[in-house]
Every structure is written in structure tokens, then in C-alpha cells.
Amino acid sequence: MPQAEGARVQPETAARVEYELQLYYWMKLIRAFEDRVSRLHRQNKIMGGVYSGAGQEAICTGICAPLKDGDFVAPLHRDLGVFLVRGCDPARLMAQLMGKETGLSRGKDSFLHGGDMEHLIFGSTSMLGSSLPVAVGAALKFRMKREKNIAVAFFGEGASSRGDVHEAMNFAGVQKLPVLFVCENNRYAYSTPLEKQMAIDDVADRAEAYGFKGHVVSGNDLLAVLEVSERVIAHVRAGEGPALIECKTYRYRGHSEHDAALYRDQEELLEWQTRDPIPQYELFLEKKGHDLKHIREQIDERTHRVVQEAVDFAEQSPLPKPEEALEDLYAPNSGAVSKAK
């Protein structure tokens, strides 16, 4: 974690200072990592599509920071930040993006479908929303085994119109499962604007129909996301059933790197950029008495080093061997199930 050096605070608040700076580091790391990946994509060094979450860092950070070891997370294609906050090695993550043997899936898939089960991060699919039933299944497992863990499933406002999203939420509500649904509402389902995709303003309104509460928060305000997520996660973990948090946000780039996003107004983008989550949080740190200039320099140096080391590792890693292409098609035999006589 970043040190509290440069912060004018009382010694008894050292733990809180460290946490606040860790949150800042995560958002800055996510932004720096994403920016570098976009540059690498233009250099044809990335295998598969790139779906930037620039502008949405407060959501991944604010939702994942309160989680505990053993919690299950099903991120979206735009949630690279979930991997970083949950502890995935940045070097392996970059290797995954470059399709290298040292990546999460040994070079056999793009980031879009990559998961990290060591940290209980479930790989997404191209059918966004289809991971919600999987997260509900994980939550059912937690309840059956009386484990105090929860499942978290991210989805977009576009995916909220899919049938499997409805089925997942309905089952979770009926069974009162420990699952948190997080809607990243960035106003565009690819190129479809919000008003042409749903007849209501808030996806969170739909939660009531499934028998649980929905909460709406600014997804660009890290402190607001944290306040809601800490409170709601505590309720879900306590056995009070599922919940939905809708984070209102905006993606700065197009749907993917090959999308120029000509369908949206430039002034709309500029307006949302004035609500950038990182400068907002920097203002908070400054008002708290931190030496922001010094801390920013420290964290920028650290994030640059971490990202560069990840790139170096990935570029030096080998591509997967052709003869390994048919490996990993099935889960390894644990020996727990004996052959039928």
C-alpha cells in the first residue's frame, strides 16, 4: 500500500489514511493500465478486442474494496479494474491481453473471456448478462454450505433487458441469496442510448419486482459508491437477501477501441469528463489535509513502474505452443469420483 508520507493527519488515523491512499492508488493504476493497453492495441500487440473502462474506475474500486477473501465476482468486459483491485497480478493480466503462455488462460483466450479463479473472478462471455446466473449459483453454494461469503455480478443497463438477467434476479429474490447485482449504467448499450433501450430512468427500480432493494448512486463519486456498497454488502453478507446497486456513469471511449462513438454528442462527453472520478477524489484528499502534489507524484511513479513491469513481462513471455491447443478443455480429474463398476 502507498505510505502516508506527505499527509498532515493525526497519528491515530494512520490506518484510515493508508486505506484512503490505497483507494487512490487503485483508481490511478486502473486508469494507467487501461491507457497503456489502448496504446498497445494501436501497436497491434493486444490479442482480441479492448473495451476501456476509462471514466468508470470508481465503480470497480468502490464495489470491490469492501469485499473479503472468498467472495465471488463476475465482472464485465469493461471491468479490468476488478482484476487489479481483487489482487490479480498485473503482469499476468497484461500477458493475458497479449495472448501469452503466462496469461490467465495460458494464451488460449482474450481478456474478454479471461478469469482468475485463484481470486474467484469468473471470466465474462460475449453474451453480457449471462454471468449473472453463474453468480447466483455461487451465492446458492455459499448458502448451502453456510459460508459467510457473497457473490457480486456486474452488468450494464443494456444487459438488464436480457432474459437471463431477469431469471437470475428472480431466482435470487425468491431464494433470498447472498448476491449483489451491480449495474454500470454508462448510458449506451454499444450505440443504443438509454432512452431507446428502456422506458424507465433507473434500472434499480426493477429490483422491487424481484423482492429486494435497489439503490442508485453516482458511479463517478468514489466516496458515494463506497458508502452505499459498504452498507449494502454488510446486509447481503448478514443473510438479508440480494440487492442491486445502479452506478450512473459514462465511458470516455467508444464501445471498443475500433468504435469512434460518432453516435454521441461531443459536448455530452466533455460534460461527463468534468465529473471524472479521479480529480473528484483528489479534491477530497486535498481537503482532508493531504499533500496532494507529493502523493500524486508518488502514486504516478508507482503506477508507471507497475504497468511498465507488466508490459515487459508480457512482451518477454512466450506464445502458447501449438501442441497445447487441445489442453484445458475439461476440468482436471480430481480423483474424487471413482469409476463406475
Query: Any idea where the domains of the chain sit in the sequence?
Result: 11-319
The pLDDT, as a whole number, for residue 214 is 98
d(CA 17, CA 285): 9
204 secondary structure, DSSP code: G
SS3 breakdown of the chain: % helix, strand, coil, rounded to 5? 50, 10, 40
Residue 301 zone, left/alpha/beta (φ > 0; ψ -120 to 50; rest): alpha
* Residues 6+ away with beta carbon under 8 Å from 306: 29, 90
Closest CA to 251 of 237, 267, 269: 269
Joined grid coordinates for residue 213 = 432493494
Low-confidence ranges of the chain (pLDDT < 70): 1-12, 334-341
- pTM (2 d.p.): 0.90
Alpha helices in 43-162 (DSSP H): 57-64, 80-85, 90-97, 131-144
Backbone angles phi, psi at 172, to 5 degrees: -60, -40
Q: What is the DSSP string of 271-322?
A: HHHTT-HHHHHHHHHHHTTB-HHHHHHHHHHHHHHHHHHHHHHHHHSPPPPG
What would be the CATH architecture of the domain defined by 11-319?
Answer: 3-Layer(aba) Sandwich (3.40)
Residue 334: its pLDDT value, please?
65
- Strands 151-156, 213-218: parallel, antiparallel or unpaired by DSSP? unpaired
- Quote the CA–CA distance of 206 and 208 in Å, as a whole number: 5
pLDDT tens digits for range 201-213: 999 999 999 999 9
The pLDDT tens digits for 146-167 are 999 999 999 998 888 889 999 9
C-alpha 341/C-alpha 329 separation (Å) is 26
CA distance 86 to 103: 17
